[in-house]
Amino acid sequence: MKNNIKLLVLLFSFGFFMSCDDELNDLQPFVEGNPETFFNSVSAFQNGVDGAYRQLWNYYSSTGSGLQGIPDILSDNVIIAQTGRRSNQDYFNYRYVAGTGGAIDLYWSEAYEAVNVANLVIAQIDNLGDGDEKNNILGQALAIRAWAHFDLVRVYGKIPTQSADANASLGVVYIKVEDGDTEDPFAEPVRETVASNYAEIIGDLERASQLIGADNGQGKLNTDGVYALLSRVYLYNGEYQKVIDAADEVSVPLATAEELEGLYTDANEAGIVVKLAINTSSESNGNNVGVLYSQSNATSTISEYVFDFDFINSIDEDDLRKDVISFVGLNQDNQYNAISKFLGETGQVNGRVDVKVMRAAEVLLNKAEAQFELGQDALSTLNELRDLRYVAYDGGEAGQDLEDAIQFERRVELSFEGHRFFDLKRRGEPVMRSTMGDIIDGTGTPPDFPTLAADNFRFQLPIPIAEINANQNMVQNPGY
């Protein structure tokens, strides 16, 4: 694999940008050309931006290594099912190295390609006349650039709140066309610090929030989406009042319990703030994102990963989410606590559904956690979600019990959507899996590695070996 950071100027030689949204099939992809002449209209610029969304789509929805699922496989939410194909077992067992491939290579290459395309759009933005359309294109490109860099640094670097040394540790290369970073396609850049990365990410997102439009259609960022991303990034950066302020700018209401099943089968859009639209059952070239967890047909489920025994049993029977996110899977005469969130669209079991990148529930939970950190009324905020998720609950928590309740609701609400590993990581907490087995009653085979200490180097994935070999200035993460 070529050094992806070197492809910035060369990318237009290869082109191939496609619309990421299955509601925009009439938009033709850009396939070749010079950016200085191609970007000559609003539609051409939007086509370029859609190419950047497509790169995000590629690494979030990858059938085998999607960012929607690997963070749960790395965490304490799941256990590998022995009757599955044992896919991604190197990640589940923490045996990944720089040459493992899969997620390690995919996130790096596709995220930087998203950055590449966003920078190409930003570089030519003055081809458009001043006004709302220009601002909206620029806002989307800036937000995509920030989003991709954020994913890169949280995967390959530390998170600012993770440890005392995190901000000074190595992050990733932040590439901005405005700084001249794209002028030399053969440059060998060095990794910047985590603190520098977060300053750039936040700068891009804050600028985007003042430019981007309020409604860009499904599968695209808008004002709500940028503020939602800011609420997440501020939380990772420990800027708690800014988390609250950003969350308060998001106008999308929470999904009700009655809407959850349809949300996960793509029958509705309830509570979705940011999604990446997959070409679903009516299309031929979509990714079956749910096969990361299982492959199903009308009569059986071949689970790759199932609920961790302690996790599924910690969910109260009065929790209306339990039957929406889990079911009894049967394979080879064994029953499993199977995952139902990504089985497919209504009536389908092909695992092909949209990626729910950010939901209103996460934004609210970001706010509740930030309020707790600042000694504000986090309980009332948390109860806004719990009132919609439980038949009945005790509530009334304070102190450590309230903090635990916020984190528990976050774990259940956002389970299998790519959050749990990063939540443990940013809070400086270990992975502590159940020592029970994979079968529904806790029998079967327990995990080989039930714990990962909070200070273990494997919380940072290794830089891909191809990147290390291609760039003499690229420093590998400690331990690999």
Residue 157 lies in a domain: yes
Strand-strand pairing, 431-432 and 355-359: unpaired
Confidence band for 30, pLDDT divided at 50, 70 and 90:
very low
Tens-place pLDDT, residues 68-108: 999 999 999 999 999 999 999 999 999 999 999 999 999 99
Residue 112 lies in a domain: yes
Q: Give residue 122's pLDDT.
A: 98
Residue 31 lies in a domain: no
- pLDDT over 90 for what percent of the chain? 83
Residue 315 lies in a domain: no
pLDDT for 5 beyond 60: no
Q: Give residue 35's pLDDT.
A: 74
Tens-place pLDDT, residues 99-149: 999 999 999 999 999 999 999 999 999 999 999 999 999 999 999 999 999
Residue 204 lies in a domain: yes
Q: Give residue 37's pLDDT.
A: 80
Residue 240 lies in a domain: yes
- pLDDT over 70 for what percent of the chain? 91
Tens-place pLDDT, residues 256-302: 999 999 999 999 999 999 999 885 544 445 688 888 898 877 677 89
Q: Give residue 296's pLDDT.
A: 78
Q: Give residue 33's pLDDT.
A: 54
Residue 15 backbone class (left: φ over 0; alpha: ψ -120 to 50; beta: rest): left
pLDDT for 1 beyond 60: no
pLDDT for 21 beyond 90: no
Structural domain boundaries, residue 424: 44-59+73-282+352-470
pLDDT for 4 beyond 60: no
Number of domains in the chain: 1
Residue 22 lies in a domain: no
Give the lowest-confidence range in 150-159, 262-271, 275-284, 454-463: 275-284
Residue 13 lies in a domain: no
Tens-place pLDDT, residues 349-405: 889 999 999 999 999 999 999 999 999 999 999 999 999 999 999 999 999 999 999
CATH assignment at residue 268: 1.25.40.390
